[in-house]
Amino acid sequence: MPPREGVYGLLAEFNTPSELVHATEMAHRAGYRRMECYTPYPVEQAAEALRFHKTRVPLLCLLGGLCGLTTGALLEIWVNVWGYPLNIRAMPLFSWPAFVVPAYEMTILFAGLSAAFGMIALNGLPQLYHPLFNAPNFASGATTDKFFLCLESNDPRFEPVATRVFLEQFAPVSVVEVDH
């Protein structure tokens, strides 16, 4: 894929989460859809303003857990009943209460790894390059104490000048054009 060129979007910087949430809400009402907020800690109201509610992380976690449970249980049953049957204290070969603990641990292991790596994958990470890192004020603020709203250029409503005027009415600290 050839490297993308041109403008990635317009990045507005705010000092408080309230201003960010307000601007995001207004941008959504104005019809912008391809946009994202960047904050130094999770701001739930910003997600609401973006209308981003559902994540698929819990589903992945559930699937991982079920997969772990099945793997653990089948492994134990196969090993102790067919693979390597041993007579221990005359217990039945299929002594399921004894199989609970390892199957349970396998459930947690698979579910936990699915939740963690599923989250990373859904977030598209690791992504060591991102156009926003080109913005001079982004790196010094986004992970410390500043709140950013980026309206992306692939939004049908995006107009370099009109969008900038739209953002400036919320009195941001700055509006920066970010290149790919």
Q: Are strands 174-179 and 7-14 parallel, antiparallel or unpaired?
A: antiparallel
Instruction: Tell me how far apart the alpha carbons of residues 22 and 4 are, in angstroms, rounded to a whole number.
Output: 31
Least distance from other proteins to the Cβ atom of residue 165, Å = 16
Q: Is residue 97 classed as helix, strand or coil in its secondary structure? A: helix
- Provide the 3-class DSSP secondary structure of residue 57: helix
Neighbours of 49 (CB within 10 A): 22
Nearest Cα residue to 72 out of 106, 97, 98, 95: 106
Instruction: Give min distance, CB of 159 to other proteins, in A.
Output: 23
Nearer to other proteins, 130 or 180 (CB): 130
Residue 7 or 47 with smaller CB distance to other proteins: 47
For the bound state, the minimum distance from the C-beta of residue 9 to other proteins, rounded and expressed in Å, comes to 13
* Shortest distance (Å) from residue 56 CB to other proteins: 8
Q: With respect to other proteins, which residue has the nearer C-beta, 145 or 179? A: 145
Least separation in angstroms between CB 8 and other proteins = 13
Nearer to other proteins, 147 or 158 (CB): 147
CB of 14 within 8 A of CB of 173?
Answer: yes
Separation of alpha carbons 101 and 85, rounded Å: 19
- Residue 7 vs 57, nearer CB to other proteins: 57
